[in-house]
Amino acid sequence: MKALQRVAFALYIASLVAAFGSPAKADESNKLTIFTFSQPVELPGNKVLPAGTYAFKLMDSASDRNVVQVFNKDMTKLYATILTVPDYRLQPHDKTIIRFSETAPGGPEAIKEWFYPGDQYGQEFVYPKSRAAEIAKAANQSVPSMPSELSGNVSQPAGNSKAPSVTAMKEAQLKAENANGKETNVEQAFGTNPANKSSSQSK
């Protein structure tokens, strides 16, 4: 019960943080959004963002596997280029939604997913396999994963989706790390078909 309360509280805090994130330059092509975090947050690739204001945007919104880039507020410094898989919510929201996964006690919460206002389809963040397995166990939920050796690609400079570091992530075989320690096909856990989402998984 205590664990469930921590998860509920984490999602509550995530919703509050998202409420303070305001879309900038409302642009459907890259979904640029400015977020202000009141506490450190974890990104894939062993990246931790200190509390502060950051810009999130899509590198290539037409790609089957979206790529999210995270910059400082002025977009003069790139912090991370992150592979995602499509995620689905039954009801779109008029505000930006960003949710976190619970991690080990004392550590920053890990960003799980991001939905742009009005979108039913969003981005589920892909973590390196070893870290994805840890988060899956701590949060009791499935986490999409890529090979652990690609962890460093997240921090590499990338001006477009043809950058070698991005291409390697997009071509990687993705899996889903589950809370029970088992690994499954990523499409089974994060398929884009709404029929794959049971009512218990709806957000």
Q: What is the pLDDT of residues 62-118, one digit of tens each?
A: 654 689 999 999 999 999 999 999 888 888 888 899 999 989 888 899 999 999 999
| 136 domain residue, yes or no | yes
Whether 179 is covered by a domain: the verdict is yes
What is the pLDDT averaged over residues 176-199?
A: 75
Q: Is residue 66 part of a domain?
A: yes
Give pLDDT tens digits for 133-149: 999 999 999 999 999 99
- Among the listed residues 188, 70, 196, 176, the one whose alpha carbon sits nearest the alpha carbon of residue 121: 196
| Domain presence at residue 203 | no
How crowded is residue 193: how many other Cβ atoms within 10 Å of its Cβ?
A: 8
Sort residue 80 into left (φ over 0), alpha (ψ -120 to 50) or beta. Answer: beta
pLDDT at 10 over 50: no
**Domain for residue 116, yes or no?**
yes
Q: Both tokens of residue 136?
A: 């899956």
Q: 3-state class of 145 per DSSP?
A: strand
Please state, in angstroms and rounded to a whole number, the distance separating the CA atoms of residues 20 and 35.
7
Domain count, the chain: 1
Which domain does 63 fall in, by range?
Answer: 2-196
SS3 label, residue 124: strand
Residue with tokens 């947050």: 41
| pLDDT, tens only, 12-58 | 444 444 434 444 444 677 899 999 999 999 999 999 999 999 999 99
* 17 within domain boundaries: yes
Give pLDDT, residue 13.
44
